[in-house]
Structure 1
Amino acid sequence: MLSLLTTRPLKPLFSHFTHSLPKLPLPKLQIPKIPFSPSPFKPLPSLSLSHTRPEPASSSRLFSSVKMASKTIEHIVLFRVKPDTHPSKLDTMISRLNGLTSLPSVLHLTAGPISKNRSQSFDFTHLLHSRYKTKEDLASYSAEPAHVSVVKESVLPICDDVMGFDWVSDLDGPISPRPGSAMRITLLKLKEGLGDGEKGEILTVLGGIKASFPEIDQISFGENFSPARAKGFTVGSVSIFPGVKEMDGLDEKGQMVEMEKEKVRSLLESVIVLDYEIPLPTAASL
């Protein structure tokens, strides 16, 4: 405190004070020797670390609480059922296709009638959408005797056109869309001679759609890797909505299809846009 309150030198004052003190001998301190003995304190009980730090990143608990993008195989098949098909045969086809969801390699599968076909050049009537963990799982599904039987006995006899489309997606969100949700499938055929730069531009546009339309729960897109069955279409996307109301709401504003087309219109030769409602469980399946 003195150094903060005075500006006078303190050394002379301190020197005078020390010379005035009598010189006294310092007493010798006696430090008693204390014999060593074990600590009288009991050790603390061991503490569980489960409440003080998170579990490792490999923990299933952590993955269950965090949504992470994962590689998923999208598989889409479009059917055009013959107009004179008897309803019972059509019902059998749809029932048997949906029964394939029990195959071990299938993560998700739904099949049924297309609710709205927005394409003028292709008049498909029904579709199948399924998902797989790997390309090998998709190949295993295709080779399953149950799948081969359904195709030969219930699909080909009543359909006069079938189209397949597959891609790898960085899927963010649930593998199985909620029953009652709505799906919009968009398939693009690019003009001949386009390179990877133009394909990348189209994929970038598809990837940005979800950010522009919060009504979309999930979007998946990618480049087809099964060209033999795709009729020249090379890029596809699936947009999942909470329901038909939300999907149709964008169309009332004239936004959804036009935005997908406008930014890449000059690069496209043809477009297929189909709407599908994932059916609710029937009373028999509850």
Structure 2
Amino acid sequence: MANSPSSETEIIEHVVLFNIKDEDDQDPSKVNAMVNGLNGLNSLDSVVYLTAGPILRTRSLPSSLKFTHMLHARYPTRADLSTYSLSDQHVSVVNSFVKPICDDVFAIDWAVNLVGPTVPRPGSAMRFTFLKVECEDEKEKILEGMKKIKESLDPFVQISFGENFSDRGKGFSVAALVVFPDLIELDGGEEYEDQMRSLIEKFKVSDDHFIAVDYVVPRLTPVTPVTTNHLIDELSGQKSD
């Protein structure tokens, strides 16, 4: 489901960061199985858009955290996000692929009236920024600052931001996402980076309260629920019927 560049759609943003434990020594087939299993969740009816893959680069991260992969998804409502989370396929992927090889998971969710496509094109480059802001007054001012950044950059990029409602966000309370057409545009997006950095410095957000990661939307071959079941059988050494 996609919408025209000028239309506005209410959606829920869902971002999960994963850390593959002992990544250098990890069996690549298990990492690939996790990524393929996660991408297979885009077949669920409650999902508008979903991709998973390696983080391109980390621009800022508290010293206590490390992340290697991420999932980004969009849903029409919070009820749809809940339906996705509780679905048998999602639970199976998490238990079979994620938990055995990941030692840390971080999730942030927020609601937004999104302007532009709800389904980013493959090759689109994204920058995710998460802030830990405990003061409610400062949180509101930061969100207002993000609104001004959005207004100053429209219609050149898509910007989504809001207050986190996930209880798995390790205390991070504000999220922002900017979508550029490609990596070249992201690397050249100095105006957005300067404005965001200025906002962070204005409210004295410390490095330990600031996460920024870059991600490129992969070009995916559709993965069906049946294929996901085959992955589970293959990983467990069983032959699928």
TM-score class normalised by the smaller sequence: 0.7 to 0.9
| Separation of aligned partners in 2, 1:183 and 1:274 | 8
Residue pairs, 1:13-32, within 5 angstroms: none
* 1:113-147 superposed Cα distances (whole Å, 9 cap, x missing partner): 00011124232110000000011000000011000
| 2:24 is the counterpart of 1:81 | no
Larger C-alpha radius of gyration, 1 or 2? 1
**1-structure distance, mates of 2:222, 2:174:** 37
Deviation, 1:89, is 0.4
Match of 2:145 among 205, 209, 228: 205
> Which has the bigger relative contact order, CA under 8 A and spacing at least 6?
2
Q: What are the superposed Cα offsets for residues 147-204 of structure 1, whole Å, 9 maximum, x if unpaired?
A: 00000010010001001111111111111011111011000001x4x12x32211101
In 2, Cα distance between the equivalents of 1:167 and 1:111? 18
Q: Which has the higher strand share?
A: 2
CA contact (8 A) 1:117 1:123 kept: no
Q: Distance in 1 between matches of 2:223 and 2:83?
A: 29
Q: Percent identity?
A: 48
Q: Which amino acid aligns with 1:95?
A: N
- Give the direction of change, closer, same or farther, for the CA distance of 1:66–1:237 in structure 2 (3 Å limit): closer
Partner of 1:231, secondary structure, is coil
User: Do the aligned partners of 1:210 and 1:216 also contact (CA within 8 Å) in 2?
Assistant: no
Structure 2: state its 5+ residue gaps. Answer: 225-241
**170, 173, 184: which one aligns with 1:231:** 170
TM-score of the aligned structures, taking structure 1 as reference length: 0.70
Secondary structure class of the residue paired with 1:128: strand
Structure 1 residues 250 and 65, CA gap change in structure 2 (3 angstroms): closer
Indicate whether 1:165 and 2:105 are aligned. no
Tell which deviates more after alignment, 275-284 or 121-130.
Answer: 275-284
Query: How large is the RMSD of aligned CA atoms in angstroms?
Result: 2.5
| Paired letter, 2:46 | S
Take 1:251 and 1:130, find their aligned partners in 2: how far apart are those partners? 26
Does the Cα contact within 8 Å between 1:251 and 1:257 map onto a contact in 2? no
Separation in structure 2 between the aligned mates of residue 104 and residue 283 of structure 1, nearest angstrom = 14
Mapping for residues 216-227 of structure 1, pairs under 5 Å: 216-226=156-166
Return the match for 2:99 from 156, 159, 168. 156
Match of 2:40 among 92, 99, 109: 99
What secondary structure does 1:265 align onto?
coil
Aligned to 2:50: 109
Aligned length: 218
Q: How does 1:262-281 map to 2 (within 5 A)?
A: 262-265=201-204, 270-281=209-220
Aligned match for 2:179, one of 202, 218, 240: 240
Counterpart AA for 1:275: D
The alpha carbon displacement at 1:258 in A equals 1.9
